[in-house]
Amino acid sequence: MKIEGNRIVDEEGRTLLLRGCNLGGSSKYPLSPPGETRRPDSLAATRDLSFVGRPFPEEAAEDHFERLRCWGFTFIRLILTWEALEHEGPGIYDEAYLAYLRKILLAAEKKGIAVFIDPHQDVWSRWTGGDGAPAWTLEMLGFDLEKLDAVGAAVTEQNHRRFNRDPYPPRMIWPTNYNRYAAATMFTLFFGGNTYAPGLTVEGEPVQEWLQGRYIAAMRHAYRRLKNCKAIVGWGSMNEPHPGFIGYRDLEGLENYPLAAGPMPSPFAAMAAASGHRVSVPFYSTRLPGMRSGRRLLNPQGLSLFKEGFVCPWKQAGVWTDEGGEVRLLRRDHFSSCQGKPVRFVDDFLKPFMRRFTSQIREVRPGTMIFIEGIPQGDHPHWTGEDPSGVVNAFHWYDGFILYMKSFRSWFSLRSDTGKPLLGRKRIAAYFREQIGKGAAWTRDRMGDIPALLGEFGLPFDMNGKRAFRTGDYRLHEEALALYYDAIDAHLLHSTIWNYTADNTHERGDGWNGEDFSIFCNGEGRAAAGWLRPYPLATAGVPLALNWDRKRRLLSYRFRADGGEAPTEIYAPPECLGEKPLIRLQSAAASGVVRAEYRPEDRRLLIFSGGYTGEVDLQAEGILPA
């Protein structure tokens, strides 16, 4: 496949609509030793570990890919972490893991599955509450991994009970690590170390160059080992990048945060606490994020995060000082400008990284598609004709109310942007279309109308008090997922749902920070009526409008045929359309020129245009046995 304008096309020149999933949730942590975040000891091994077996055992690969193919998920965002590649130390790559990945990718190719590699991270690393970077990236800056939670520099599920009187929050607190000292510092140095910590070096190299250089070298090495795997069609640059402290106007305030839950230090307070000072900070409810409920003492033991011979990079850069025993902020707007003007992180720092990543990955295979991302639920970079071509904007979207409250009702929700209530299914559906449409509109209007892919969306299956686990009734999940896909169809977006976790169970979920998003559980799909639906895999022409009415089992698809010989190919599972759907075709062609052929055994509906150029209107109505 390749990019032509705003379309992704196959070798026949047909317009592709890519649909699939993220594979998989448990690829964020090692298989050996067991790395589930619920295990208190899962952070003990920092270098002697293995991701072989993620996302599933080699011998099970074909079965999983066959299942995904049957579900119409022929495009996969394959999760790969920096830690999985380079956990032993800088420049030491896990060749056994890469050999395993090659076998997995060959199985995908055999089943007709296309893959793009996602270098995944959340809040930097497992030791800072997420996944992604190896432990040594923190250690090389002098961080004592044993003290990250104790000084309030991170909140991890593994260590939460050691330092908090409350149990690990039932809802998502891990994103607050983006604003805590460790992850925020690492992101700031990764993207902006040259600007904001110009004197800081690692192994004699400026810290920004060292971090980005190691990261890109690891991904490039992996691609060299895997470049002959035909299933790979592209690479992501980085999952959900974050500015850290970049852009803060006042280091005594709260900015750049996705939600407020638990102790929420300002950057200045976080810096002081990391260097051994006891600091009182606001505390926000973990049950109702954003609701302030008193204060908590950060770093009550007065420990320093830094090993002997190291100091806080921001203290070294002159942002703050504790000289004479008094903690003072010296440059409250240190991160607010770049080259004498107000900073815009996505254009000033993220975009140069994307360009560098693209250039170096394409040294392995010229023309490789690159999937880029802006800040999750935030800004995207501008993209112009002077920037690299062959790029896809792979933005993410989640409904905040469902995500953080783990609750859904088809008649009530709250807008994430304003907090205003939404009453009625139609208003909720319109809101989803509007929000998802924003990413598509930005791509069209400010990124040169490059292709857009909704790289992540989904919902927690343990919502509504895990009622569906007890009853087997997933109708609310199906309703929510169908609303998501209706919005995706309305914008004719490529999409990969989060996620497919091969070893998901009701008891352990995805195994990471209490999340349970997998559409596959206990060996079978769940809430399939919400995501199993017809769609045009490959259109001999240009798609114009798509709608699947799941209650009426009616597929409506309109496209402009280009007169090509290859048929338009629609994924059409019998579970949705039955064995003999009622098919109606309308066009300006002579009778019989444009024709349809349904092949239920192949789960395909083919439309042959017979050389006709012009609009074709298809309606396929499913008729299921009584």
d(CA 463, CA 476): 10
Phi–psi pair at 181, nearest 5 degrees = -55, -50
Residue 195 contacts residue 249 (beta carbons within 8 Å): no
Q: Nearest-5° angle of CA 357, CA 363, CA 364?
A: 105
Pairing assessment for the beta strands 582-587 and 595-599 based on DSSP bridges: unpaired
Active-site pick, 456, 478, 479, 569? 456
Q: Which of 36, 83, 157, 240 is catalytic?
A: 240
* Residue 500 dihedral angles phi and psi, to the nearest 5°: -120, 110
Length of the chain: 626
Q: What is the DSSP letter of 590?
A: P
Residue keyed to tokens 């077996």: 53
Whether residue 146 contacts residue 264, with contact meaning beta carbons closer than 8 Å, is answered with: no
Cα gap 377→417, rounded to integer Å: 10
Beta-carbon-side half-sphere exposure of residue 478 (alpha carbons within 13 Å):
15
The Cα–Cα gap between 118 and 20 comes to: 14
For residues 596 and 592, what is the distance between their CA atoms, to the nearest angstrom? 10
592: left (phi > 0), else alpha (psi -120 to 50), else beta?
left
Q: Which residues touch 373 (CB under 8 Å, ≥6 apart)?
A: 236, 237, 238, 239, 240, 241, 380, 393, 394, 395, 396, 455
H-helix segments, 50-154: 61-70, 82-86, 95-110, 136-139
Q: What 3-state class would DSSP assign to 607?
A: strand
Single out the residue of 112, 105, 106, 101 nearest to residue 69, CA to CA: 112
Instruction: List the alpha helices (DSSP H) in 198-327.
Output: 207-226, 267-274, 313-316
Neighbour-count burial for 227-266, b at 16+ CB within 10 Å, e otherwise: eebebbbbbbbbbbbbbbbbbbeebeeebbebbbbbbbbb
Query: How many angstroms separate the first and last alpha carbons of the chain?
Result: 41
240 is catalytic: yes
d(CA 607, CA 559): 11
How many whole angstroms separate alpha carbon 246 and alpha carbon 237?
Answer: 19
Buried b (16+ CB within 10 A) or exposed e, 548-572: bebeebbbbbebebbebebbbbbbb
**Rounded alpha-carbon distances, angstroms, from residue 29 to 38, 241, 268, 615:** 12, 19, 31, 49
* Cβ(249)–Cβ(132) below 8 Å: no
- Residues recognised as catalytic: 240, 456
